[in-house]
Amino acid sequence: MKVLVVDDNKEITDMLSLYFETQGIEFNAINDGQEGLEAIRNEDTDLVLLDLAMPKFSGVDVVDYLKKENMLDSKNIIIFTASTVSPDLFDDLKRRGVKGILKKPVDMNELEDLVTKFRPT
């Protein structure tokens, strides 16, 4: 399994890196929204955790570009955020192709459920 995390908070991506390494899961962290978009476009991943609130190029910007390129449905993108996401925004993101939401701080059981759900068989 390969997981990509796009989040501007290096402490969070470092913590997730340790978790995924202990689970034997290939992991890549990108701390910039625009670079994250390029990685989502070009890397073959099983799961993408995408932060909404990043400077310059937000998670919503990433979703907008992927939707325009008809790439959202083929990617397992989970919104990964500490922000309160309104039901309207979340419904809109789901309609566009986002597969779910994972709140920060991370509940490890929820993270494990996502890994199980999107792990290739």
pLDDT in tens, 96-106: 999 999 999 99
Kind and range of the H or E element at 96? helix 87-96
Instruction: State what percent of residues in the chain have pLDDT above 70.
Output: 100
Q: Show the domain range for 36.
A: 2-118
Report how many domains make up the chain.
1
Domain of 45: which CATH number? Answer: 3.40.50.2300
- Sign of torsion over alpha carbons 107, 53, 77, 24: negative
The pLDDT value given to residue 86: 84
pTM: 0.94
pLDDT at position 57: 95
Sign of CA dihedral 40, 43, 44, 45: negative
